[in-house]
């Protein structure tokens, strides 16, 4: 059976495939291979730019352009070639190295330095930088812009409803009056705070060999300051250098990032449940969409499906992020391979979050406040004014104001 949106096992690529499509070039197998190719090419170019690596002389413009072209013109056909090589090597990163050697065949200048492709690198040197680039791109280009869209729509709604009075509820019981706009503004403020944690998380990288000590580098070129070169290289990719690692970059920053996204999602879960309740109370109506059906048997119903969909997918996203954040920073001794398969699911957490953010925007767009219904509940609960009355009584020295009002 061919893979289509109808036959995909995961709804991320099936039912919700159109919503998660922007993530495919980043977090797919193609995306991982592409970023590995990019890192390998940039590493070779960095060696050519280092004056003390005399065996790799400065590249001619033609050779540099050829290498850049491998990255810039990387296609699905190229990615499939890497996969075909992997069938023989049974090693995904080694397959990238062999692929690059194939691509430079016929260029004498690059063929002469072909053994410096993947020079002194462990696979994790390439992988950790690739994953870091994928996370940065997914965060900055896809996730944060969608977060901003949700925040902006809620901000606009908060301003629109700033003066609409509403009965608040604590412990499910009538409490002091508030406004619908203020309650939504609370959500906006919380979301902005968590978004900043997401944005400000430093994306780290390393390229220091099999156990983080530059053993192979120094055995070949003991005179070179490899730590300084690694720092410059990692920073040239737009990442932050981590100077102290084992074979893997320890993934602590990933845990920080995933936890921050999960906290953002938790605020939205809270919002979804509150809006669901306000719709149930009649405080919000939902605009109908021509042709849409709310219930298969009850024609009158317009269900809060967008908020329910968002809540469910946010929960799935957080389940993924929770495991990633708990598992990735833990690795036996200088490294075990359990992180490898787990890291392939980073995009799944992003995907469920993206699905939820799309549903939320659709749901927010359907909301229509019902001030008359909110006033009904306020008019029916005059007792909530007991709080300000007893507070004023205290100011004027009336004894036992709380007790007197309670006795009424």
Among this protein's residues, is 295 annotated catalytic?
yes
Q: Is the pTM for the entire model greater than 0.75?
A: yes
- Domain boundaries, given as residue ranges, for the chain: 20-119, 123-369, 376-407
Tallying the residues shown for the chain, one arrives at 408
Q: What is the pLDDT of residues 327-369, one digit of tens each?
A: 999 999 999 999 999 999 999 999 999 999 999 999 999 999 9
One-character DSSP codes across 155-216: HHHHHHTTT-EEEEEETTEEEEEEEHHHHHHHHHHHHHHHHHHHHH---EE----SSSS-HH
What average pLDDT does this structure show over 207-234? 98
* Owner of token pair 């003991």: 222
pLDDT value at position 404? Answer: 82
In this structure, what is the dihedral angle of CA atoms 314, 271, 328, 207, given to the nearest 10 degrees? 100
More confident residue, 287 or 115: 115
pLDDT value at position 296? Answer: 47
Catalytic-role residue among 295, 300, 323, 340: 295
For the domain covering 123-369, report its CATH number: 1.20.200.10
> Residues near 130 by Cβ (< 8 Å), separated by ≥ 6?
32, 35, 36, 38, 39
No. of helices (H) and no. of strands (E), the chain = 19, 6
pLDDT value at position 46? Answer: 99
Calpha distance 215→47 (Å, rounded): 17
Catalytic-role residue among 118, 168, 171, 323: 171
Calpha distance 136→233 (Å, rounded): 17
pLDDT value at position 301? Answer: 57
Check whether domain 376-407 has CATH 3.40.190.10, yes or no:
no
Q: What is the pLDDT of residues 40-54, one digit of tens each?
A: 999 999 999 999 999
User: 226, 289 in Cβ contact below 8 A?
Assistant: no
User: 138, 148 in Cβ contact below 8 A?
Assistant: no
Q: What is the pLDDT of residues 222-247, one digit of tens each?
A: 999 999 999 999 999 999 999 999 99
Residue 378, pLDDT above cutoff 80: yes
Among this protein's residues, is 62 annotated catalytic?
no
Calpha distance 40→317 (Å, rounded): 31
Rg for the chain (alpha carbons), in Å? 28
Calpha distance 97→85 (Å, rounded): 10
Which of the listed CATH numbers 1.10.10.10, 3.40.630.10, 1.10.275.10, 1.10.12.10 matches domain 20-119? 1.10.275.10
pLDDT value at position 385? Answer: 84
């Amino acid at each position: 059976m061919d893979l289509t949106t109808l036959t995909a096992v995961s709804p991320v690529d099936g039912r919700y495939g159109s919503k998660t499509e922007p993530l495919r070039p980043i977090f797919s197998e193609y995306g991982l291979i592409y970023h590995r190719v990019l890192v390998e090419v940039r590493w070779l170019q960095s060696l050519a730019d280092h004056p003390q690596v005399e065996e790799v002389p400065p590249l001619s413009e033609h050779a540099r352009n050829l290498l850049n072209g491998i990255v810039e013109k990387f296609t699905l056909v190229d990615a499939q070639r890497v996969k075909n090589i992997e069938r023989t090597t049974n090693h995904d990163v080694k397959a990238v190295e062999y692929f690059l050697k194939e691509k430079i065949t016929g260029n004498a200048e690059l063929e002469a330095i072909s053994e410096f492709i993947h020079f002194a690198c462990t696979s994790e040197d390439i992988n950790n930088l690739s994953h870091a680039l994928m996370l940065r791109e997914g965060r900055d280009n896809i996730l944060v812009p969608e977060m901003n869209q949700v925040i902006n729509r809620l901000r606009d709604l908060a301003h629109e409803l700033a003066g609409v009075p509403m009965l608040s509820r604590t412990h499910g019981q009538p409490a002091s009056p508030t406004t619908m706009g203020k309650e939504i503004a609370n959500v906006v403020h919380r979301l902005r705070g968590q978004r900043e944690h997401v944005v400000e998380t430093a994306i780290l990288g390393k390229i220091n060999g099999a156990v983080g000590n530059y053993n192979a580098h120094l055995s070949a070129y003991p005179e070179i300051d490899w730590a300084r070169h690694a720092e410059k290289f990692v920073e040239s990719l737009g990442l932050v250098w981590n100077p102290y690692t084992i074979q893997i970059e320890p993934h602590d920053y990933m845990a920080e990032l995933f936890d921050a996204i999960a906290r953002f999602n938790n605020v939205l879960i809270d919002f979804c449940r509150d809006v669901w309740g306000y719709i149930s109370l009649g405080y919000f109506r939902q605009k109908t969409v021509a042709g849409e059906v709310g219930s298969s048997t009850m024609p009158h119903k317009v269900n809060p499906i967008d908020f329910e969909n968002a809540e469910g997918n946010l929960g799935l996203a957080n389940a993924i992020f929770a495991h990633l954040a708990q598992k990735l920073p833990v690795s036996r001794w200088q490294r075990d391979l359990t992180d490898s398969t787990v890291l392939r699911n980073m995009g799944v957490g992003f995907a469920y979050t993206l699905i939820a953010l799309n549903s939320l925007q659709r749901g927010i767009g359907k909301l229509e406040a019902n001030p008359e219904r909110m006033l009904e509940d306020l008019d029916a609960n005059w007792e909530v004014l007991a709080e300000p009355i007893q507070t004023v009584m205290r100011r004027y020295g009336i004894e036992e104001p709380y007790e007197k009002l309670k006795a009424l």
